[in-house]
Structure 1
Amino acid sequence: MAGQSHYTPPMPEFDAPVKLLIVVAPYYKDIADDLVAGARAQAEAAGATCDLVEVPGALEIPTAIRLAQRTADYDGYVALGCVIRGETTHYETVCNDSSRALTLLGLDGCCIGNGILTVETHEQAAVRAGEQNKGGGAAAAALHLVALSRKWRGQGKGIGFKPRGEDTLLA
C-alpha cells in the first residue's frame, strides 16, 4: 500500500570489526550493481568491511555462501540478485529453491541478509534496487543477525548433548 510506513530497528553498534561477504548473481547487471552499491553503503555506514563475489545465478548464491561459511572467515553474508518472472515455471523453482536454501543456512546459524529480488518486471526490480534500497536492507539484516550472534555467542542452555572432549574420555 502506498504511503504505508515501515519500522526499521536502529542499526547495531559493534565493538569488534565485522566482515561481510556479498554474493551477487549479476544476470541483470544494472539491478545487481544498484543492489551491491546499497549493500556496500550500508556496511560502510555500520563500520563493516565487505568482499564481493559473483556467481552465475540465484540458485548458486546459497552454495557460494555455504562454501564461504565452511572455508572462509566472514561474520555475515549478503545474498543479492534478481529473478524476473518469465513464461515458464523456472521462475518458481529459482525463487523457491534459492529462498529455501538461504533460510536453511540461516536456521543453521549463518547470518544472512536475503536481497534476492523476485519480481514481475524489470521496472519493479529497478525501483526495489534503487529507491527502495533492498541491497542496503539485506546488508542491514545481515548486520543485525551478526549482532545477535555475537550477543548470544557461548551462552549454552545447559540442555542437550555436549560433544565428548578429551577431559571426558574414559580410560
Structure 2
Amino acid sequence: MSGDGSPDLAVDGTGLKVALVAARWHEEIMGGLLAGAQQGLQDSGVTDVTTVRVPGSFELSVAAARLARTGDYDAVVALGVVIKGGTPHFDYICQAATMGLTEVATSTGVPVGFGVLTVENESQGLHRAGLRGSREDKGREAVLAALETAVALREVAPRTS
C-alpha cells in the first residue's frame, strides 16, 4: 500500500495563510480530496484559506504559481487526479503537473503540498481520496506536509516579503 511508512504528520498552523488549488475533473474523488484538505487545515488551526478551482490537473501549476508569487500565502496546496487511459496523455499530464508544481515551490520558496493522485483506475483514486471506506486521505496529507514545511522554514529562514 502506498501509505506504508508515511510519517505521522501533525502541525500547529495557527496564523498561517494557505491557498488551495483544486481541479474539477473526477468530481467524486476531488470532493474527497478537498474535504480532507479542508479538515486538515481546520484541525491544524488554519483559518485564513483561499480556494481556487481550475479545470484539471494541467492547470494547477499556473494557478499555484500566481498565488505563490503574490507573497500572501505561507503555503499552497494543489489537489488533482489523473486516471490512466489508453494514450500517453496520462504521462504528459502527470509529468507536467509534477514538474510545474515543483518549479513553483523551488522558484518561489513557498511550500507546495502535492495532492495530485496519479492512478491506474478510478478505484485507486477512490481509495486515496479520504472518502468513507478509503484507505488513505491524500488531501489531508498534502495539507499537513505543506504546513509542516512552512512552519519548519519559518523557524529557520523567515520570509522577508
TM-score normalised over the length of structure 1: 0.82
Whole-angstrom CA distance in 1 between matches of 2:30 and 2:110: 22
In structure 2, give the amino acid aligned to 1:63.
V
Aligned to 2:110: 110
Provide the alpha-carbon RMSD of the alignment. 1.9
Residue 37 (str. 1) matches residue 35 (str. 2)? yes
CA shift, 1:12, in A, is 2.8
Aligned to 2:129: 129
Aligned to 1:150: 154
Structure 1, unmatched stretches of 5+, are 156-171
Task: Describe the superposition over 1:82-139 as per-residue Cα deviations: whole angstroms up to 9, x where unpaired.
Answer: 0001111110000011101111222221211100000011011000002200000000
Task: Describe the superposition over 1:47-102 as per-residue Cα deviations: whole angstroms up to 9, x where unpaired.
Answer: 01222110011111011011112236111011101000111111000001110111
- Find the residue that maps to 2:95 and give its secondary structure: helix
Structure 1 stretches (4+) deviating beyond 4 angstroms? none
Whole-angstrom CA distance in 2 between matches of 1:10 and 1:67: 27
CA shift, 1:10, in A, is 4.3
Classify 1:43/1:32 alpha carbon distance in 2 versus 1 (closer, same or farther; 3 Å).
Answer: same
**Which structure has the larger Rg over C-alpha atoms?**
1
Structure 2, unmatched stretches of 5+, are none
Aligned to 1:161: none
Whole-angstrom CA distance in 2 between matches of 1:24 and 1:5: 25
Q: Name the count of aligned residue pairs.
A: 153
Whole-angstrom CA distance in 2 between matches of 1:52 and 1:79: 10
Aligned to 1:74: 73
In structure 2, give the amino acid aligned to 1:82.
V
